[in-house]
Each structure stands twice: as structure tokens, then as C-alpha cells.
């Protein structure tokens, strides 16, 4: 098991290229199960989650390869397999998004329940509700979702939940409806750029989907889809993380391969805090004043402030001048990073789904433990600016969602090393 050793105090400068989006690539790979013939995906990040999805796809009868240019080639060669096994699904929650494609293309699916995660339960009831509305028969058997349907039929489906719309649920139902008979309308669909990117790929493969990026999706089912080529959108969460890294170190960093239109809520909040975000053609320059203002932030479904940048923002606000209030509306228990930041001298008080952050003059290096993907990023950010040495353990979490983050940070001037734990 590896760890990061970070010696704080280095100002980040230079350029960094943002990788393709993990959260877009995973459902895109699953969607290729719907198609006849090969698909080619460009700019798929080389991440642990992508490798897990590749293993799952292979187990479901697809040939998945990555060429020297980093493109992923997917071609289904065996449609007799319909079981997404627990041994693979348990490693990555996004595996649930093979349910819709398997059901629509192979008429039956047996997919392991993905369970919860370190910041609480993330139920799949909306996935099941949507697929049942399309005519699927679904039951739970020994920890597996067992779904079947001779022919799916279009329907009007409401996918709103207690914490807003569901991204993977929208993806699952949209993929299944692409091969359903008739028209499907999804109300309260997720509006995230990753859902829009999925619809773009499906349409290029022959689907008829309109309204992607809005709360109302219309899908007119087609008889077949054909593999095609597709470039994955830039990872807006990685981009937000590097923006915060530039700001927390008082740096001057140019981000390449970034779509700022996907990040308006993040940019607006960073500017309010005192971070300077300047578009420069197809690049963005991020720098910071030495004085960071406090802020009130509430996470919301897109286009609101993303829950996946909440932890990184808290790390940044630990050094602001005043009191900040961060309320988590998507996953109210997603504050595992708070206890570790306290070990580094942060002043944070948690009250239910809210964290109250009082800025301190400096953070202090300490041994800390990563609990999940974005918490890992927050602890790395804190380590970049802390006095002394910070050791971040269990960094397999960060490898799930950041492509060689230590290499990118080191090229910007960070003093960070990956080491094996003794």
C-alpha cells in the first residue's frame, strides 16, 4: 500500500493538462454494451476505476484495449453473459450503470448491489423505479438486482429524489430507453455535463435523444445502435482541484484542456474567496491574492456547487480570514476529511450536514488517513501548504479519480513523493 509524503511551502507555478473526465468515461464505457461494432474513446483517463470498469466489461463479453495514443477500443464479442459479479462491482459503485445497457440489449441482467461508501448509503431505488417504468421485471436475489424484459416500452418517468436528481440513475434509464419501443420522457433528469456527454455519444451511435443538459429528456427508441468514436469531456472535478491547489499555495497555474462552462458555480465561489481565474483562449490561468475571504457554500445538483469539490474547498477555506459555512445537501455525511484536517491544525466544527470553518494562520504537517477519493484530494491540498511534513496514507482512494496526481503536482513545483508504506 502506498502513501504520499509532502513537504509543504512550495508555490505552484507552470502549466498542467486536465485529464478526461472519470465520471463521464465510466457510463460511456458501459453504453458501448448497447452497440454493434467497435467504439473508440479518446482521452479516457488511466485510473483505477477505469481499469475496474474494463475488467467488468471484459467479464461481460467485451474486448477492451488501450492503444499507444491512450485511446480505448471496445467491441462486444459475446452477448451471452449478463452477470456483473460482486467481486468486481464492490470495488466501484459506478458499475451499476451496466444495468440499463444489459437489460436493453440482452433482455436480462444480474448486477450486484454496489452497497454504500465511506460517506453514507447511496441507494439505487431511482434506477429500479425508472427501469420498472419501462416495463422491466426487477427483483432482489442474494444481493443481486435481477432484471428482465422481452421488450422495453417508452414511458414518462420522474427521477427526482430526496437529494435531487440522480446522475447514474439518469444514465441507466436513458441508456435503456435508447433501445426501448416508443418515446420515453424523463422528468427531473440530471443536468450534469457527464450526462450530456453520454447523450452525445449515444446520438452519434444512432440514438434519438433531445434535451440533454436540461431536466427534461426525450428519448425516441431505435432498433439498434452502432459503435462510433467519441472524445471524453475534460474532468471538471480535477480542474477544480488544481484551481484550489493553485489558490492554497498562492500559485500561478495555467490549466489546459478545460471547459470553464462546466464550472461556473465553482469559478464564481473561488472568485468570491479571492482567487483570480482568467480565461486565456482554450486555457485558464489561476492565481491568488495573499488574502482569502471566507464564504458560505451549499452543495447542489448541477449547475450548483458540486459535492465532489466540497472537501477541497474546505481545505482552502481553512486559511481564509474569517468564518465559512459549508452545507452538504447531496451527501450529508460527507465530512470524513474534517477529522484529519483537525489533526493538521484546522479549526472546523461540524453540525449535522454543515461544517463551520474558522480560518487559521497556517496548517501543520501531520500523518493523516484518506477515507475516500475527494477527501484524499483535500488532504493533499492541505499538505501542499502545511508547515513541515505531511504523510497521506491509503492513497489508493486518490488513484481512483486522479491520473498520476503526484507527477502533475511535482511538475508544478510541489515537493511530493509516492512511497511504499512499511
Catalytic residue list: 117
Crossing angle for the helix pair 193-204 and 167-178, to the nearest 10 degrees: 10
CA distances from residue 125 to 115, 194, 246, 412 in whole angstroms, order as listed = 12, 21, 39, 43
Question: Rounded to an integer, what distance in angstroms lies between the CA atom of residue 314 and that of residue 346?
Answer: 10
> Are 285 and 253 within 8 A, CB to CB?
yes
CA distances from residue 375 to 5, 204, 218, 369, 397 in whole angstroms, order as listed = 16, 36, 36, 9, 9
The set of cell numbers assigned to 146 is 435481477
Whether cis (ω within 30° of 0) applies to the bond prior to 13 is no
The residues, ordered by sequence, that sit 6+ positions from 374 with a Cβ below 8 Å of its Cβ are 237, 308, 309, 310, 311, 312, 334, 337, 401
Given CA atoms 243, 247, 248, 250 in this order, what sign does their dihedral have? Answer: positive
Instruction: Tell me how crowded residue 54 is: count the other CB atoms within 10 A of its CB.
Output: 18
Amino acid at each position: 500500500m502506498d502513501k504520499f509524503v509532502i513537504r509543504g511551502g512550495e508555490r505552484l507555478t507552470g502549466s498542467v493538462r486536465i485529464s478526461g473526465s472519470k465520471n463521464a468515461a465510466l457510463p460511456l464505457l458501459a453504453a458501448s454494451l448497447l452497440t454493434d461494432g467497435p467504439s473508440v474513446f479518446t482521452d479516457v483517463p488511466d485510473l483505477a476505476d477505469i481499469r475496474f470498469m474494463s475488467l467488468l466489461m471484459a467479464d461481460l463479453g467485451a474486448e477492451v484495449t488501450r492503444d499507444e495514443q491512450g485511446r480505448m477500443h471496445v467491441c462486444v464479442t459475446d452477448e451471452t453473459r449478463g452477470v456483473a459479479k460482486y467481486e468486481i462491482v464492490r470495488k466501484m459503485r459506478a458499475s451499476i450503470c451496466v444495468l440499463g445497457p444489459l437489460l436493453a440489449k440482452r433482455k436480462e441482467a444480474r448486477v450486484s448491489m454496489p452497497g454504500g461508501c465511506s460517506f453514507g448509503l447511496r441507494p439505487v431505488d431511482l434506477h429500479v423505479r425508472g427501469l420498472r417504468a419501462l416495463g422491466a421485471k426487477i427483483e432482489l436475489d442474494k444481493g443481486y438486482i435481477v432484471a428482465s424484459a422481452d421488450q422495453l416500452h417508452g414511458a414518462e418517468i420522474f427521477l427526482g429524489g430526496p437529494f435531487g436528481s440522480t446522475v447514474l440513475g439518469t444514465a441507466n434509464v436513458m441508456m435503456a430507453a435508447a433501445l426501448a419501443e416508443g418515446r420515453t420522457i424523463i422528468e427531473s433528469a440530471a443536468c450534469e455535463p457527464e450526462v450530456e456527454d453520454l447523450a452525445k455519444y449515444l446520438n452519434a451511435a444512432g440514438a434519438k435523444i433531445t434535451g440533454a443538459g436540461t431536466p427534461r429528456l426525450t428519448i425516441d427508441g431505435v432498433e439498434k445502435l452502432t459503435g462510433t468514436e467519441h472524445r471524453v469531456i475534460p474532468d471538471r472535478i480535477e480542474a477544480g482541484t488544481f484551481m484550489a491547489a493553485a489558490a492554497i499555495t498562492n500559485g500561478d497555474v495555467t490549466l489546459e484542456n478545460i471547459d470553464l462552462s462546466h464550472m461556473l458555480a465553482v469559478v464564481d465561489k473561488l472568485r468570491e474567496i479571492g482567487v483570480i481565474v482568467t480565461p486565456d483562449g482554450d486555457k485558464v490561468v489561476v492565481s491568488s491574492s495573499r488574502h482569502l475571504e471566507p464564504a458560505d457554500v451549499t452543495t447542489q445538483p448541477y449547475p450548483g456547487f458540486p459535492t465532489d469539490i466540497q472537501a477541497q474547498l474546505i481545505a482552502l477555506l481553512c486559511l481564509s480570514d474569517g468564518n465559512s459555512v459549508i452545507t452538504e445537501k447531496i451527501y450529508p455525511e460527507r465530512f470524513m476529511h474534517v477529522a484529519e484536517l483537525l489533526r493538521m491544525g484546522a479549526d472546523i466544527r461540524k453540525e449535522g450536514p454543515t461544517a463551520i470553518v474558522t480560518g487559521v494562520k497556517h496548517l501543520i504537517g501531520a500523518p493523516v488517513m484518506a477515507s475516500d477519493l475527494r477527501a484524499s484530494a483535500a488532504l493533499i491540498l492541505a499538505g501542499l501548504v502545511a508547515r513541515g511534513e505531511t504523510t497521506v496514507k491509503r492513497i489508493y482512494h486518490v488513484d481512483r479519480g486522479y491520473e498520476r496526481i503526484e507527477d502533475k503536482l511535482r511538475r508544478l513545483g510541489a515537493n511530493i513523493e509516492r512511497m511504499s508504506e512499511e
